[in-house]
Amino acid sequence: MTYAANPPMTPTITAFERSPDGGKGLARDMRVRWALEEVGRAYDVRLLSFKAMKESAHLALHPFGQIPTYEEGDLVLFESGAIVLHIAERHAGLLPDDANARARAITWMFAALSTMEPPIFDLTIARLLERDEPWYEQRLHVVEERIRKRLGELSGRVGDADWLDGEFSAGDLLMVTVLLRLKGAGLLDQYPNLSAYVARGEARPAYKRAFDAQLAVFAAASTS
Ligand code: GTB
């Protein structure tokens, strides 16, 4: 695998001007920041209000008016998974060189986003938006059971390994960001190996740099 020695452009990503998560690093710019930190790539951030996200300048970059986006020269990307894959494909450190191992790491990226994230995101939505509905408790039970099923399956696969498949990869990066959303929900604690797995991700220096960067944005917004 060959990688560009000196990538020419500093990419620009977008993020919330004031994240509704209060600086917990749960918005999806966090995974892009983390990927960029892992590969040692400097980046700029353009902060957006909810209003600006729905205006034509941003809609030209992101058809759904969301964050994150990624601009690098002529290239504009949206979808956090696609952005992380782009970063991982162009820099060493997030995907193995061996073709089969690389394909398996990419499989874990998809598993994180299309198998694990949907029920976990449903829980966020239920707690934030559906709490006052008469069917809230039933809905919560169903969603939590779906999550438990997936966590049990994932826990069985991870066993006592450090990472999903050999070395840390973009698959782990996405999986950790998805599981982090469960912190404090009492679900992850039932799977000590997954709690330890998430803690290993959070302990990575690149994760910490990314987390601190998004927290600094929230702190600045709170004092302005
Ligand atoms: N599939 C897309 C991707 O992976 O990039 C989803 C992008 C997305 O959902 N972006 C959200 C957004 O822009 C921010 S991250 N929302 C504004 C809108 O749609 O108008 C989702 C998010 C929001 C808030 C919290 N939180 O408060 O904890 C966590 C995550």
- Per-residue pLDDT for 4 more than 70? no
Kindly indicate the confidence band of residue 6, based on its pLDDT and cuts at 50, 70 and 90. low
pLDDT, tens digit, for every residue of 78-132?
Answer: 999 999 999 999 999 999 999 999 999 999 999 999 999 999 999 999 998 999 9
Residue nearest to atom 22 of ligand 1 (CA): 27
pLDDT, tens digit, for every residue of 43-84?
Answer: 999 999 999 999 999 999 999 999 999 999 999 999 999 999
The answer to whether domain 99-204 has CATH 3.20.20.330 is no
CATH number of 12-93+206-223: 3.40.30.10
User: Do 12-93+206-223 and 99-204 show the same overall fold?
Assistant: no
Residue nearest to atom 9 of ligand 1 (CA): 66
Tell me the two tokens of residue 145: 């059971």
* 33 close to ligand 1 (CB < 6 Angstrom): no
Query: Where does residue 222 rank: exposed (0-12), middle (13-18), buried (19+ CB within 10 A)?
Result: exposed
Tell me the two tokens of residue 41: 């790539």
* 79 close to ligand 1 (CB < 6 Angstrom): yes
For 24, 42, 69, 127, 144, the CA distances from 36, given in Å and listed in that order, are 19, 7, 13, 31, 32
Hey, how many other C-beta atoms are within 10 angstroms of the C-beta on 74?
Answer: 6
Q: Which residue has the higher pLDDT, 168 or 184?
A: 168
Domain ranges (residues) in the chain: 12-93+206-223, 99-204
* 214 close to ligand 1 (CB < 6 Angstrom): no
pLDDT of residue 223: 82
Measured CA to CA, the distance from residue 38 to residue 205 in angstroms comes to 8
* 80 close to ligand 1 (CB < 6 Angstrom): yes
Quote the radius of gyration of the chain (alpha carbons, Å).
18
3-state secondary structure of 47: strand
